[in-house]
Amino acid sequence: MNLLSTLKGSLLENFFPAGWDLEKIDRCCSLPPERITERQAWWHKNFEPIPCDSLEEFNVKMGHQIALEICQAKEKKQKLILILPVGPMGMYKWTVYFLKEWQVDCRHVYGFNMDEWSDAEGNTLPPENPGAFQNAMESAFYGPLGQLTVPKEQRNFATRKMLPAYPEKIAALKKKGAKLVVIFGIGRVFHIAFWEPHFAAEFKSESVWKKQTHRLGAKLHPLTIEQNAITSFKSRTTLVPCYANTIGPGIFLRADRIIGGADGSLGRGMMWQGMSLWVTLRYGPSIWVPSSFMPTLPGRLFFLKELAGPLVAECN
């Protein structure tokens, strides 16, 4: 007896995105942990999943990877475009640490926050609000870098005014030889940034879906709301906005390199991201599962070993 056998007639019957193959999702999650890094035919030859034994190891390795990209671009005298998430976050203190140790400044870096909370029209929280992603990024990354930081005029946030300018700004930088690195986490519903799976129903083809660069006031899935209530708002669902501004696949799938992270462990054997990780790596590219495209790009996905499971029932 499980969700698949009891779904019909339940309150969840029409809850999940229409294009999800729930049986396939279940098969992705049924494999033994040791098989999680087995290469799949659709993975990019330079894509690599990296298991980490602990959260601290995860933060250090991911932070080092970001700092290394900044350092290498500096050495090559190359502009660097960083698409930046607010979640995961622990890697930023280590990025700052390594850059300060190496005394590498970020004058060549252009930061683009991938998303921000909004209302239905795309209006965002004021930057000083504790829940604003801009506030989080200034506090965790830009501020602690001190004199080595990214110039203010090169910091971009997903506001109603700034987000629509992302495609043109990024294209102009790419024409000047800039490298595009997308740093990301994976959502409970397999989103990248806040590009949700149910958006797929709006597009006639994968090629059209892939051209979408951004969305203002994106309508979030209920599972995304609950994910963020748990991970960012101390379980207080009433504080979580129902909309967000976000980049789309027209930006995150054009990365020259990706740096991903999955650290969704909750302690005492509980987690929220095990299914998200397995499906990202095993489902195969589908516009109904946005994160499934990330293994088709060169780069690394760091993850806590614990998330590999086994994903079985356990009473806590």
Q: Please, which residues have CB within 8 angstroms of residue 202's CB and are 6 or more apart in sequence? A: none
- Looking at the predicted structure, is the pLDDT value of residue 316 above 80? no
What is residue 313's predicted lDDT score, i.e. its pLDDT?
80
Domain limits, the chain: 44-308
Three-state SS letters, 4-19: HHHCCCCCCCCCCCCC
Question: What band does 314 get if pLDDT is binned at 50, 70 and 90?
Answer: confident
Cα 296 from Cα 255, distance rounded (Å): 11
- Domain 44-308 adopts which CATH fold? Rossmann fold (3.40.50)
What kind and span of H or E run contains 215?
strand 214-219
- Could you give the percent of the chain with pLDDT greater than 70? 99
pLDDT in tens, 142-186: 999 999 999 999 999 999 999 999 999 999 999 999 999 999 999
Amino acid at residue number 281: L
The answer to whether residue 141 scores a pLDDT higher than 90 is yes
Tell me the average pLDDT across 265-288.
96
Span 267-276, mean pLDDT? 95
The answer to whether the beta carbons of residues 61 and 33 sit under 8 Å apart is no
- pTM to 2 decimals? 0.97
How much is the mean pLDDT over the chain? 97
pLDDT band at 127, cuts 50/70/90? very high
Mean pLDDT of 62-71: 98
